[in-house]
Chain A
Amino acid sequence: MTTQDLQKALNKNIRDYGMFIALFVIMTIFTIATNGLFLSSRNIADLMNQTGYIAVLAVGMTLVIVIRHIDLSVGFLAGFLGAVAAIGLSVLHWSILIVVPAVLLLGILAGLLTALPVAKLGIPSFVASLAGWLIYRGFLLLSTTSTGTINISDPAFVALGNGSIPDFFPDDSPFLPGLHKVTLLLGVLAVIWFIISDLRSRKQKKSYQFDVIPTDMLVLKLVLISAAIGFITWKLAGYNGMGWTVVVMLVVVGIYDWVSRQTILGRHIYAVGGNPEAAELSGISVSNITLLVFGSMGLLSALAGILFSSRLQSAGPTGGTLFELDAIAAAYIGGVSAAGGVGKITGSMVGALVYMSLRNGMNLMGVDESLQYVVRGAVLALAVIFDVATRRVKR
């Protein structure tokens, strides 16, 4: 395979793999700049846990942007619901089994509330969710100012943001000492599953005589991605194993990805985003889909609030600040399109990882927070420009 072929194939698939390349580049830069500290097990574990709540928000935001809307209220909603959870656990001493479902339910209701004027009256979602931003900020302050920061000590709740999945193999066994075996096992299974499903979809595409990437590129792709999965898993295994946050993130991404690609509901959502008028004339209720997507966003905001406050083991008056922008940035880096109807859930997860890697790396390097904002903004702009530019070339 010549370099020309490589270039041609890259150009064709650059859209799909662009963010992986960006992730690789970013991680390399930071590894060099921090003398390897960036890639230490502890840091990778931290990074994955930090990404959790943003990834969850980004997944929900993806669908919102797909149906041509935006939700600016998710940040303070998450912060407020985190505070509600804290109050439920630490002040009212309710069981976690009551608090968590209640908070999730509140999230759904909040999402539906934002969506009602949008779906039924045609109010721009920008305005409706901006109102939410203000209102939830108010609620957050109301619930935390008098008490100050509320500490959470419920062990189950705290484990969500800080703990890891249990390891069934003793830690001091002679086989792979010091490594979390269950995590490694999961990593191996993930690699196998990934290779099989990719080969299967390739076979299907071939049978319909659709273009597939050449075999040597395929091998390269499989090797690289397997290596990436393996690498991350190995790093996680080196420090306490896979965190519960990672599990939650993967479950959310898994469910949403499956729904968006494999179900009638998913098709309806992407149809509404692709052409709302055509969707309506095809028998789809745009109004119901809108309510559903915002309700889901509310649910995921609640989940993000739980993960975040669990990680900090507290909820304070500034919880959730700017989460919405982080989520939107992650979604755009992950390939969602402002025009609607386009955006992969898995892409948003990678986008969240890219975004948080930037933050994590810059923190390690001791970069001033003000400069960090500039860099994050620049990366977001580049991501969107890249998205629009490559969209044109492909056709």
Chain B
Amino acid sequence: MSPHILEMRSISKTFPGVKALDNVSFQVAEGEIHCLVGENGAGKSTLMKVLSGVHSHGTYTGDILFRGEVQSFRGISDSEHAGIAIIYQELALFPELSVYENILMGQEITHGLGVTVDWNETVKKATEMLKRVGLKVNPEALIKDLGIGQQQLVEIAKALCKNVKLLILDEPTAALNEDDAENLLLLIKDLQKNGITSVLISHRLKEVIEIADTVTVLRDGKTICTLDARKGQVSESVLIKNMVGREIHKIYPARGNCVTDEVVLDVRNWNAYSPKLGRAVLKDIQFNLHKGEIIGFAGLMGSGRTELAKSLFGNPDGYELRGEMTFHQQKKRFKHPGEAIQAGLAYASEDRKGNGLILIQDIKSNITLANLEKVSNRGILDANREVKEANDYKNALKIKTPSVEQTVVNLSGGNQQKVSIAKWLFVEPKILILDEPSRGIDVGAKYEIYTIMNRLVEQGMSIIMISSELPEVLGMSDRIYVVSAGRIAGELSREEADQEKIMHLATS
């Protein structure tokens, strides 16, 4: 039997238009702690979904060998049955049920006939599991009353109950405070002593270095390298270099220097607290924007960039805000997106299908929605003017469609994104925030969007570009702010910035 408990060989998986995994190989030795690292979009989650059966056998090419046998998982229950348990960042617990009900969910101990649950035995088993993970809570406590760190331990207890052999944890410490994170890592090491193999996906490189026996780096859907910590191959700089070290093949359209000295947006001591989430979302943010400038906001997903943009754009999520925003030399705080739009600020959201466009409506209605006054007389729509304006924007942005009366849902991703941008250009903003402007778009459309952005700043607009794509941030920004966990981790000029510096700040 091979010393590897898990071998994934030549795994490839394609989604329409995107090759998420390209001939990936991934081996985990029995009893080790193996960390999987890579940027957003590198393929880590997809690989784990292939392993756990979420992407069932047949939807990918390549082989999975677990404990020496080829596996063809058709769903999570298959992989769980084999002894693989995966714990996601968004925990899969039932908040209104008790700890013991959650731990034994689906595996309750029953009386003889298998119809009624033997709750006494169930609670007993749950208590056993709680001991194993070192969680000192009443098994009858409700999940919703536990802290997130404790909830995570309940998830692990659940996995242990299923006799897990290979435990996969996706960003386990992302939502934890330092103490809880420390405890979790100790637990994982403890479980290792009991023969459980663990795979951790993590962006916290310091933790990776602390705990990993082996580290595999993925980039753009390919395995880049596997490093043995015991041989001293693992260090932060080596990891970052491999995570980002790609040639920047993409060419970005040239732009003259149109940055002026005039500061059009100045944000200081900006703090946001979310009552819904019960925690601070933005901490002491400080940045500024000049007329004619494109500034890039880089960072990992979930670092708080979208929250920052929305908090400035009328605060639709109802954060409690502190701090100052100076908009064109006037101190302001927009209470509603409508106010922001009136003042000349526009925000093109990252989730065009979710909250950017109205998919069941046509192109022209979507383009004009935020500024209907422009195509109306005293509240009454001028249908002809609307069509004309929509056609003008369609031509300017090269939106490929036979007519502006085409329903948006039928357009390709790239064209939908162009409609979204057209919508925000239609309000004639002075400052435009683009959140992930090229997400899910083919190369050709991306170039067209970059060209449009250049044209806009040449004509005096100022742009904030939020992007998780490093080459794009480097190729288009005059200055780059790196956001990490709700804070500005650093500011880089165009000349001094490179992928490694950004990633270093993003993971700090």
Contact = CB atoms under 8 A, between A and B. Distances in A.
A263 B338 contact: no
Nearest to B371: A283
B405 A210 contact: yes
Given A210-B405, A264-B372, A271 B358 contact: yes
Contacts of B336: 283, 285
B401 to A, nearest CB: 11
A263 B378 CA distance: 9
Judged by DSSP, the binding face of A is helix
Interface centre among A262, A283, A285 (most CB of B within 10 A): A283
Interface stretch (B359-367, B449-457, B497-505): B359-367
Interface of B: 313, 316, 336-338, 340-342, 347, 349, 354-361, 365, 369-370, 372-373, 376, 379-381, 383, 387, 402-405, 409-410, 423
Contact of B405 (A208, A270, A271, A282): A208
A268 B316 CA distance: 17
A264 B381 contact: yes
Given A278-B355, A281-B316, A208 B403 contact: yes
Interface string A242-268: 000000000000000000001111011
B380 A278 contact: no
Interface in A262-306: 262-265, 267-268, 270-271, 274-275, 277-285
A268 B365 CA distance: 10
A283 B370 contact: yes
Contacts of A279: 358, 369
Interface in A199-215: 204-205, 208-210
A316 interface: no
A265 B357 contact: no
Interface residues on chain A, size class:
20 to 34
Interface centre among A205, A267, A282 (most CB of B within 10 A): A282
A342 interface: yes
A392 to B, nearest CB: 13
B370 A282 contact: yes
B338 A285 contact: yes
A361 interface: no
18 contacts: A205-B405, A208-B403, A210-B403, A210-B405, A262-B380, A262-B381, A265-B379, A270-B361, A271-B369, A274-B359, A275-B357, A277-B354, A278-B355, A281-B356, A282-B341, A283-B336, A285-B336, A395-B410
**9 tightest CB-CB pairs across the interface, nearest first?**
A283-B338, A277-B355, A274-B358, A282-B370, A264-B372, A283-B341, A275-B358, A282-B369, A278-B355
A341 interface: yes
B241 to A, nearest CB: 39
A208 B390 CA distance: 12
B403 A275 contact: no
Interface in A154-190: none
Contacts of B361: 270-271, 274, 341
Contacts of B372: 264, 267-268
Interface in A330-361: 341-342
Contacts of A278: 349, 355-358
B355 A281 contact: yes
B387 A208 contact: yes
